[in-house]
Chain A
């Protein structure tokens, strides 16, 4: 493991301050909302309470589904009183799901707070069901509970559970594994760029179909496309893969450095790299410049949500000229975040965790030009006269890569532009 994620000798110019108290964040179950679109032959069955079911439908239920690919096995009194054998019950429910959706190739059993507190072993259950449905459906378990996971950590937990499912790679050819859910348009762009550099053996994980999971082994180089994949990254390393250190691919600078990490590992000649990236890079810079003017000098606060905060803050400060005030993240992984954190303005203070009311007091006191926050807070802050950008949209919009750099700026300029357009106070 030569290219570990250590800070490459750059002295940390930032400080991490832990904070505890009330947290206004999603639990990991929420990741099902995009993961079920990402892996298109998978079904997600949450084992939990009515609260879990309510969360899922409140988040996704505005879309009208002819056939949803997620559901909840709701625990009832008789399950808790031990009158019903939870394992038998779960078998019955899973049979019901498979009968209704015979075309699914994989079934994820997703643990929740209630199932974890009563210590229902879904890992075991998955193995048991795997034997029962051998040959038709793969069954895997992971946790999306609020007590264990915050929002995007649900994806980490899901992908982590898949790492054990990946076939062994016995090949000696070096392969690139891009880990983390990506919109297909971004995936295609990355593939084209890497291909042009001569990096042709590229896999995307998880990809679109469970059936096409990539192989992993000592020949695998991993490039993380999302910043919240701590456990997944370590599990991949555990399978023999090497992790490439890079900032995350937001903006022109981030994308260039991210691609550079792969190019270096593949010993792509500098001239080739330059010629492949030249026009895309120029296009990205141009589209950022056209929009970033509105952000220059503006003060931004980021509240904890997805772990995208640090790389996004890096982009907003370095490429859009914004001043960083509050810099919150639900979880800070020193190794994985090293390359991005090193690019933050010197002396940046990162707040890890949350004490909601105290944090809102700071926001109200500083009155940022823009606050990046969750939907439970956005409208109330707007009503107080503060402009907000709701953070979940960063997970639901193609924002990675050169050709999305302008769109990424647009996400932050739009609330400010809107304020100018609307003719009432």
Chain B
């Protein structure tokens, strides 16, 4: 049993729902108890979809458990096919159904349905949402294309003369982070360098579209969390090269185009293709105060890796912590952390992330909706860079994260929660102002957006340390956003020096000791 205040991912079957809901002509039969239809709300409310997700739930109740729930599965499957006439029926079960072991996939698969059935096994008690999405997408692709795999030695037909090269964009889904606009941005970027998009999947694709996947010259894996297994299967079976760079950030987008040029053997002038404002905004003197801002990053793997690179090499922040909840994709995060000289935090335990942040005391958190809870508790500025996200992160305006416009969006979003430069200076000089003061939020933010609080003394290994009154007072003169760090450094210094009481002298000794 695991105590969970917040969970980074939904259950595995929710990943299956995301795939079905993202596509057209694919219907999902989900064996699940009454109440699991709450999942529909994430599509109709958070994504604001104007249609019900194509999911039929068996919604069994306690009284059904006495009789045959298996019959309920079959009857519901028949009704769903009759009513919705899908091209493919996906079948799986939710966590409770897994316990009663009706094997809905096998049942429906063996029932001679007129609709093709693809069943997906979920391991609800060990796997989670992104795994469920990835597995479902993989099974769909494999199920629809297995019969078309070319024989060994058979050469793929060459691209007709004069036809532009094309790629598939794989991975975007509903309830992914900014997928709608990322697809638009990357499609436009590809078009600008003479590359067409063959199929975008799962988002907006039909079963027929999936059957056209092999026609592309390469696959672009925009979301490894969702599309990695399907991409690898396509590479193995249809010998389609795979473009792995996720184009989030200016440099990653440059690299993406470079990889595209190499794979497709195309001349691409990256200098020409780079209209992002981020590099100039970040170089302009107004951004100087951003230098070495201490940030903590926690997200799904692809957004965490991208954020670490942008933060450290495009915005000049100091990344003090980097982690992910995507265990399946953790390798890339480990590598990125190693390059930054950090110990990666690979966990899906919200409480562990919270402990980590409290220990590190960053000046800003780049995370998920869950890190907003932590940021509120600790009084730190925060921007959301990855799922899980809530309704405000599914905006009406164009807000990609990918490509060069994505970098513009990122610059604005990440700098916003930080105290503006002038205010930061004045706060250092005049600490007792009645209006702009320590306990007030940055004045360009609405009140309450971030309740800034002094962080408590760290309780890890501090033991008998006490602060004398004057030192405590002096500490208050350090601006709040670096005060936590100063407190921790001073305590660390005092401990190292074998001191038991911290006075003003210790404070400044520590400052000199740690000054960078």
CA separation between A55 and B40, bound complex, in Å?
A: 11
Contacts of B377 in A (CB 8 A): 66-67
Question: Complex formed: what's the CA distance from A117 to B94 in Å?
Answer: 13
CB of A195 to closest CB in B, whole Å = 37
**Within 8 Å of chain B (Cβ to Cβ): is A64?**
yes
Nearest B residue to A53, CB-CB: B7
Q: Contact at B56–A73, with CB atoms within 8 Å?
A: no
**Complex contact A62–B4 (CB within 8 A):** no
User: How distant is the Cα of A49 from the Cα of B1 in the complex, in angstroms?
Assistant: 9
Name which of B9, B45, B56, B61 has the most chain A CB atoms within 10 A of its CB: B61
Number of A-B contacts (CB under 8 A): 185
Are B99 and A71 in touch, CB under 8 angstroms? Answer: no
Which residues of A sit under 8 angstroms from B369, Cβ to Cβ? Answer: 61
**Considering the chains assembled together, what is the distance between the CA atoms of A71 and B5 in angstroms?**
4
Within 8 A of B (CB), among A39-97: 47, 49-51, 53-55, 57-59, 61-62, 64-68, 71-77, 79-80, 84, 86, 89-90, 92-93, 96-97
At the interface, yes or no: B512 with Cβ under 8 Å from chain A? no
A84 CB to nearest B CB, Å: 7
Whether B34 pairs with A23 at a CB distance below 8 angstroms is yes
Please determine whether B4 and A53 come into contact, CB atoms closer than 8 angstroms: yes
- How far in angstroms is the closest Cβ of chain A from B133? 14
Inter-subunit contact B3/A58 (CB<8 Å)? no
Identify the stretch in B46-54, B325-333, B468-476 within 8 Å (CB) of chain A at 4 or more residues: B46-54
Residue contact A147 to B44, C-beta cutoff 8 Å: no
**Contact at B100–A117, with CB atoms within 8 Å?**
yes
Chain B 114-135 near chain A by CB (<8 Å), digits 1 or 0: 0000000001111010000000
The answer to whether A64 and B34 touch across the interface, beta carbons within 8 angstroms, is: no
Contact B33 A146 (CB under 8 A): yes
Q: How far is the CB of B500 from chain A (nearest CB, A)?
A: 28
B6 touches A114 (CB 8 A): no
The yes or no answer to B2 lying at the interface (CB within 8 A) is: yes
Which of A26, A62, A93 is the one whose CB lies under 8 Å from B390? A62
CB of A376 within 8 Å of the partner chain:
yes
Q: Within the assembled complex, what's the spacing in Å between the Cα atoms of A67 and B373?
A: 8
Contact of A61 among B6, B13, B51, B56 (CB under 8 A): B6
- Whether a CB of chain A sits under 8 angstroms from the CB of B60 is yes
Residue of B nearest to A67 (CB): B377
Interface membership of chain A positions 1-40, coded 1 if the CB is closer than 8 angstroms to chain B and 0 otherwise: 0000000000000000000001111111110000000000
| B10 adjacent to A54 (CB under 8 Å) | yes
Set B61, B100, B391: member contacting A62, Cβ < 8 A: B391
Known contacts A62-B391, A77-B125, A375-B44; is A27 also within 8 Å of B35 by CB?
A: yes
Interface residue from B14, B56, B83, B376 paired with A54 (Cβ < 8 Å): B14
- Please judge, given known A-B contacts A66-B373, A84-B1, A147-B65, whether A50 and B38 are in contact too, CB under 8 Å: no
CB of A26 within 8 A of CB of B10, answer no
Q: Are B41 and A375 in contact (CB under 8 A)?
A: yes
Bound CA span A117–B9, Å: 23
Q: Which B residue sits closest to A57, measured CB to CB?
A: B6
Are B44 and A73 within 8 A (Cβ)?
no
Given the complex of chains A and B, what is the CA–CA distance between A17 and B260 in angstroms? 63
- In the bound complex, do residue A49 and residue B35 qualify as a contact, i.e. CB atoms below 8 Å apart? no
Residues of A within 8 A of B342 (CB): none
Assess the B44–A376 pair: CB atoms within 8 A: yes
With the chains together, A411 CA to B39 CA distance in Å? 25
Asked if residues B96 and A147 are in contact (CB atoms below 8 Å), the reply is: yes
Q: Mask for A370-398, Cβ within 8 A of B = 1, else 0?
A: 00001111111011000000000000000
Asked whether, in the complex, the Cβ of B83 is within 8 Å of the Cβ of A379, the reply is: no
User: Could you say which residues of chain A place their CB within 8 Å of the CB of B56?
Assistant: 22
* B41 x A58 contact (CB < 8 A): yes
Asked whether B57 is an interface residue with its Cβ less than 8 Å from the other chain, the reply is yes
Taking the closest CB of chain B, its distance from the CB of A351, in whole angstroms, is 16
Q: How far is the CB of B388 from chain A (nearest CB, A)?
A: 8
Q: Cβ of A64: which chain B residues have Cβ within 8 Å of it?
A: 372-373, 376
Given A53-B7, A74-B4, A75-B1: A22 touches B57 (CB 8 Å cut-off): yes
Contact status A65-B376, CB under 8 Å: yes
- Residue in B closest to A148 when the chains form the complex, CB atoms: B62
**Are A29 and B35 also in contact (CB < 8 A) when A49-B11, A49-B95, A380-B52 are?**
yes
Q: Which of B67-119 contact A (CB under 8 A)?
A: 76, 79, 83, 94-96, 99-100
Q: Which residue of A lies closest to B63 (CB)?
A: A147
Q: Is A158 an interface residue (CB 8 A)?
A: no
A103 at the interface (CB under 8 A from B): no
B41 touches A25 (CB 8 A): no
B174 to chain A, nearest CB (A): 13
Q: A44 CB to closest chain B CB, in angstroms?
A: 12
- Nearest Cβ on chain B to A371's Cβ, whole angstroms: 14
Known contacts A71-B5, A79-B1; A65/B126 CB under 8 A = no
Contact present for A118 and B99 (CB under 8 Å) = yes
Instruction: Say whether A152 faces chain B, with CB atoms less than 8 Å apart.
Output: no
A379 and B125 in contact (CB under 8 A), knowing A76-B1, A147-B96? Answer: no
CB of A304, distance to nearest CB on chain B (Å): 11
Are the CB atoms of A30 and B2 closer together than 8 Å? no
> Once bound together, how far apart are the Cα atoms of A51 and B129, in whole Å?
10
Residues of B within 8 A of A (CB): 1-7, 9-11, 13-14, 33-42, 44-45, 48-52, 56-62, 65, 76, 79, 83, 94-96, 99-100, 123-126, 128, 369, 372-373, 376-377, 388, 390-391
Known: A23-B37, A146-B96, A147-B34. 20 other contacts (CB 8 A): A22-B56, A22-B57, A22-B76, A50-B128, A51-B96, A53-B7, A54-B14, A57-B7, A73-B4, A74-B3, A74-B7, A75-B125, A86-B1, A113-B35, A113-B96, A147-B61, A357-B79, A376-B40, A379-B48, A380-B51
**Residues of chain A at the chain B interface (Cβ within 8 Å):** 22-30, 47, 49-51, 53-55, 57-59, 61-62, 64-68, 71-77, 79-80, 84, 86, 89-90, 92-93, 96-97, 113-114, 116-118, 145-148, 150, 357, 374-380, 382-383
A sample of 22 cross-chain residue pairs with beta-carbon separation below 8 angstroms, ordered by A number, consists of: A22-B57, A25-B34, A49-B96, A50-B9, A51-B124, A58-B39, A58-B41, A62-B390, A74-B1, A74-B7, A90-B1, A96-B3, A97-B3, A114-B99, A117-B100, A145-B35, A146-B96, A147-B61, A147-B65, A376-B40, A380-B51, A383-B51
- Nearest 4 Cβ contacts at the A-B interface: A27-B35, A146-B35, A383-B50, A376-B40
